[in-house]
């Protein structure tokens, strides 16, 4: 079995184990899984999944990027097969023709008129007809679980009406390459000479002994806006991309300078901070091409230049932007780029939550997932673990170092259906924070909002995130996945599963909050399943939710967009508070526990985590060099935080002595005191 076949086997097993209720659900799971890769890559910024299939027509979703006037259309070619099949020219042509027919019918013949208003096809057809003048370019993205045939030499070149159309294929080989590239995106090479007929002037700004090459550059606003038009968020380092999704409107100051005083733009603007993995440069230091160019600071400048050019029809060729460019080799990029991003963005008030992706919270969750065994399910002998993939590709990377026998053992202990990522976790937990409208906005936006909740909690008391927190998180994952399957199997189900699941579980959460009750998460953890009374409650509430979200107010024809609005959730809360139409059954409430019971559990778990933190700190202290200890003591003395006796304690380990348990505890107390007074944490 080749590496790619092994990857496919792993990939398809995950789809099958999480979607054992029918082929359509498998395709749905495959589409969502595939979109994780495409979103991470930056090819798309968001998507709405609304599958529609009829003889001769097929579409699975869309994304409208308003500022760049681009419409992304998605069509899924999924084959339910354990064996890796080949994606042929014929497969590509058939699927694109089906998608094209749906598009043409929608914009020419008001196709939505013949569709049920609650159907997913209606929402896309309605959007296409009423917004056909708002986009100029169409990007058709074919997603398949097959491997692209070597006989496919070029992509289709058909045009649709007066639109500029491009085609993109995401198939199993592309997913494999991303999965095995240590969490990096697909390689992006920008050839300034051939693509834009220009070279970028630069000045070397590094010394010969520096591990990195740095350049001071000047790039024209015209070229920068064209880069953004062509590549969009693929240019923006992930933290900046998330930041822009929430706050990037056209900058009024930038727009005013461009229109009224363009000669002063260079003087007024802070410029860009950027990175790349490799550079091709001429003998007179002009940049010809860059590999994996990323803007880590200046995304708002870039987007504002493009939008000003588009709205005001101004010439940007005489606008120039300064750029600090650092070339970072392949081995160090994942370590260095986030730090450059963090430090470069301090002036723009990017919060800690925007850098949450690399936070210690995820490190702790990863540690617990590797250490904690989940109880064996009824009828099974072996215990297993839930594998938290803090960085994409970890699951496969661990296996790559194992023998075949050890690999089989690893998969038995860490089954694919118990693998979950950072964005998965954010989705699974945010519904219990009563944020279904945020979950409905997509993985990236939801992840940032999740960080806005977790970071302050961690800073206030990291002992909240203990073994019990981890176990209860897994229980919430089990509930979410079960709800997902239940909804899909219901006779009334016709689409919008992600929204129905999010609102169903948030409704249950809100009910219990009112009643001062809680789900017995510890019991679900022990069973690794939910009981029949819980499944019954999900069926009842989800059917009501389906009707609720379909009952859109005037001005909203797209159910997915309606579910993203907080008012949709507010309206549901009003029903819960003031109506008997939606209530919890007595059977369900009788199986809940009180908040006092839950608080007691949490209190005991915090005590255990405090001990774990102290043990972890002690392990680190014994690995410290004499210089580390010198730095700690100097900080304490310079800030008047250490007594003579405390300094004696801190000198025990560097002097080669082994402190007693009592002395060790005292050393930990001193370190904790210094950290409370502002010393940088050393437990990270």
Secondary structure E strands in 390-468: 419-421
Backbone φ/ψ region at 455: left (φ over 0), alpha (ψ -120 to 50), beta: alpha
641 with 514, same domain: the answer is: no
Beta-bridged to residue 593, according to DSSP, are 518
Evaluate whether 248 touches 300 at the Cβ level (below 8 Å). yes
336 with 466, same domain: the answer is: no
Q: Which two tokens stand for residue 582?
A: 């939606």
Residue 422 CA to residue 444 CA, distance in Å, equals 10
Assigned domain for 432 exists: yes
Assigned domain for 574 exists: yes
User: Taking the model in full, what pTM does it have?
Assistant: 0.73
Burial of 399 per CB tally in 10 Å (0-12, 13-18, 19+): middle
Cβ-Cβ contacts under 8 Å for 373 (sequence gap 6 or more): 383, 384, 385
Query: What pLDDT does 611 receive?
Result: 67
Assigned domain for 152 exists: yes
CA distances from 660 to 51, 425, 622, 633, 657 (A): 65, 41, 13, 20, 9
Query: What pLDDT does 105 receive?
Result: 94
162 with 210, same domain: the answer is: no
**651 DSSP assignment:** T
Beta-bridged to residue 76, according to DSSP, are 143
CA distances from 680 to 349, 351, 385, 459, 635 (A): 21, 18, 33, 13, 10
> Among positive and negative, which fits the CA dihedral 91, 97, 100, 101?
negative
Assigned domain for 618 exists: no
522 with 392, same domain: the answer is: yes
413 with 432, same domain: the answer is: yes
52 with 159, same domain: the answer is: yes
Residue stretches of the chain with pLDDT short of 50:
239-248, 346-354, 684
Query: What pLDDT does 247 receive?
Result: 40
CA angle at 591 for the pair 587 and 593, rounded to the nearest 5°: 140
CATH of the domain at 154: 3.40.1350
Secondary structure E strands in 496-571: 517-518
513 with 571, same domain: the answer is: yes
HEC string for 187-224:
CCEEEHHHHHCCCEEEEECCCCCCCCEEEEEEEEHHHH
Assigned domain for 619 exists: no
**582 DSSP assignment:** S
Evaluate whether 279 touches 289 at the Cβ level (below 8 Å). yes
Q: Which two tokens stand for residue 644?
A: 């003579």
Assigned domain for 341 exists: yes
CA distances from 52 to 229, 300, 550 (A): 30, 36, 17
Main-chain dihedrals φ then ψ at residue 233, nearest 5 degrees: -70, -5
Residue 501 CA to residue 533 CA, distance in Å, equals 17
Assigned domain for 63 exists: yes
> Among positive and negative, which fits the CA dihedral 163, 166, 170, 176?
negative
171 with 194, same domain: the answer is: no
> Among positive and negative, which fits the CA dihedral 645, 650, 654, 657?
positive
Among 179, 199, 225, where does a domain finish?
179
Task: Give per-residue burial for 640-671: e unless 16+ CB within 10 Å, then b.
Answer: ebbeeebeebbebbbeeeebeeeebebbbebb
The total of structural domains in the chain comes to 4
Other C-beta atoms lying within 10 Å of the C-beta of residue 635: 16
Among 130, 153, 179, where does a domain finish?
179
HEC string for 102-133:
HHHHHHHCCHHHHCCCCCHHHHHHHHHHHHCC
162 with 35, same domain: the answer is: yes
394 with 428, same domain: the answer is: yes
Query: What pLDDT does 632 receive?
Result: 86
Q: State the Rg of the chain over Cα.
A: 27
Secondary structure E strands in 250-333: 272-276, 278-281, 286-291, 294-297, 320-327
CA distances from 384 to 381, 413, 428, 429 (A): 10, 5, 20, 22
Evaluate whether 279 touches 286 at the Cβ level (below 8 Å). no
What is the distance between the terminal CA atoms of the chain, rounded to a whole angstrom?
41
Residue 118 CA to residue 577 CA, distance in Å, equals 26
Assigned domain for 611 exists: no
Evaluate whether 671 touches 608 at the Cβ level (below 8 Å). no
Question: Which residue has tokens 């099949």?
Answer: 85
Query: What pLDDT does 71 receive?
Result: 94
Evaluate whether 71 touches 139 at the Cβ level (below 8 Å). yes
160 with 83, same domain: the answer is: yes
Beta-bridged to residue 54, according to DSSP, are 57
Cβ-Cβ contacts under 8 Å for 175 (sequence gap 6 or more): 7, 11, 34, 37
Query: What pLDDT does 19 receive?
Result: 60
Give the domain extent around 148: 3-179
475: helix, coil or strand?
helix
CA distances from 309 to 100, 176, 492, 629 (A): 31, 38, 48, 56
Query: What pLDDT does 332 receive?
Result: 57
Among 179, 214, 231, where does a domain finish?
179
151 with 251, same domain: the answer is: no
């Amino acid at each position: 079995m080749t590496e790619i076949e092994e990857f496919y086997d792993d990939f398809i097993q995950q789809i099958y184990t999480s979607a054992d209720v029918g082929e359509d659900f498998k395709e749905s799971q495959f589409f969502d899984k595939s979109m994780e890769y495409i979103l991470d890559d930056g090819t798309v910024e968001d998507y709405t999944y609304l599958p529609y299939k009829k003889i001769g027509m097929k579409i699975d979703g869309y994304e409208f990027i308003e500022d760049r006037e681009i419409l992304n259309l998605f069509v899924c070619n999924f084959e339910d097969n354990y064996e890796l099949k080949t994606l042929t020219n014929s497969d590509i042509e058939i699927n694109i023709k089906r998608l094209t027919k749906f598009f043409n019918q929608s914009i020419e013949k008001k196709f939505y008129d013949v569709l049920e208003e609650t159907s997913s096809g209606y929402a896309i057809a309605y959007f296409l007809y009423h917004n056909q003048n708002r986009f100029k370019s169409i990007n058709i993205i074919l997603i398949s679980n097959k491997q692209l045939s070597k006989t496919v030499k070029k992509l289709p070149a058909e045009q649709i009406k007066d639109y500029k159309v491009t085609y993109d294929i995401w198939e199993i080989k592309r997913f494999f390459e991303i999965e095995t590239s240590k969490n990096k995106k697909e390689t992006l090479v920008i050839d300034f000479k051939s693509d834009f007929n220009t070279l970028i002037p630069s000045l070397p700004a590094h010394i010969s002994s520096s591990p990195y090459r740095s350049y001071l550059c000047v790039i024209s606003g015209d070229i920068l806006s064209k880069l953004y038009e062509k590549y969009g968020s693929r240019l923006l380092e992930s933290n900046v991309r998330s930041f822009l999704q929430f706050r990037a409107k056209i900058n009024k100051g930038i727009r005013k300078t461009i229109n009224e005083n363009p000669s002063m733009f260079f003087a007024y603007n802070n410029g860009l901070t950027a990175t790349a993995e490799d550079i091709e440069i001429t003998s007179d230091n002009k940049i010809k091409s860059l590999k994996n160019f990323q803007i880590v600071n200046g995304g708002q400048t870039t987007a504002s230049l493009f939008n000003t050019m588009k709205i005001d029809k101004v010439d940007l060729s005489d606008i120039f932007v300064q750029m600090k460019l650092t070339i970072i080799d392949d081995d160090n990029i994942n370590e260095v780029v986030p730090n450059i991003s963090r430090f470069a963005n301090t002036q723009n008030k990017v919060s800690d939550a925007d850098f949450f992706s690399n936070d210690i919270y995820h490190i702790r969750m990863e540690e617990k997932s590797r250490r904690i065994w989940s109880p064996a399910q009824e009828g099974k002998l072996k215990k297993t673990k839930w594998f938290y993939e803090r960085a994409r590709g970890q699951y496969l990377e661990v296996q790559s170092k194992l023998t075949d026998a050890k690999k089989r053992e690893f998969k038995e202990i860490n089954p694919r259906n118990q693998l979950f990522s950072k964005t998965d976790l954010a989705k699974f937990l945010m519904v219990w924070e009563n944020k279904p409208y945020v979950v409905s906005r997509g993985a990236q936006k939801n992840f940032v909002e999740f960080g806005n909740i977790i970071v302050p909690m961690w800073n206030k008391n990291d002992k909240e995130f203990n073994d019990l927190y981890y176990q209860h998180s897994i229980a919430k994952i089990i509930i979410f996945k079960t709800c997902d399957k239940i909804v899909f199997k219901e006779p009334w189900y016709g689409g919008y599963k992600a929204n129905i699941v999010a609102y169903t579980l948030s409704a249950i959460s809100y009910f219990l909050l009112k009643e001062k009750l809680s789900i017995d998460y510890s019991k679900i953890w022990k069973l690794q399943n939910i009981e029949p009374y819980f499944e019954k409650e999900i069926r009842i509430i989800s059917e009501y939710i389906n009707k609720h979200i379909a009952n859109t107010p005037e001005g909203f024809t797209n159910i997915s967009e309606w579910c993203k609005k907080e008012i949709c959730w507010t309206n549901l809360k009003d029903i819960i508070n003031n109506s008997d139409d939606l209530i919890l059954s007595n059977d369900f409430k009788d199986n809940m526990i009180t908040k006092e019971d839950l608080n007691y559990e949490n209190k005991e778990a915090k005590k255990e985590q405090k001990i774990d933190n102290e043990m972890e700190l002690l392990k680190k202290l014994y690995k410290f060099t004499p210089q580390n200890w010198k730095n700690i003591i100097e900080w304490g003395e310079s800030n008047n935080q250490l007594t003579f006796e405390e300094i004696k304690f801190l000198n025990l380990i560097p002097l080669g002595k082994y402190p007693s348990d009592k002395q060790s505890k005292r050393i930990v107390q001193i370190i904790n005191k210094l950290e409370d007074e502002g010393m940088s944490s050393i437990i990270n």
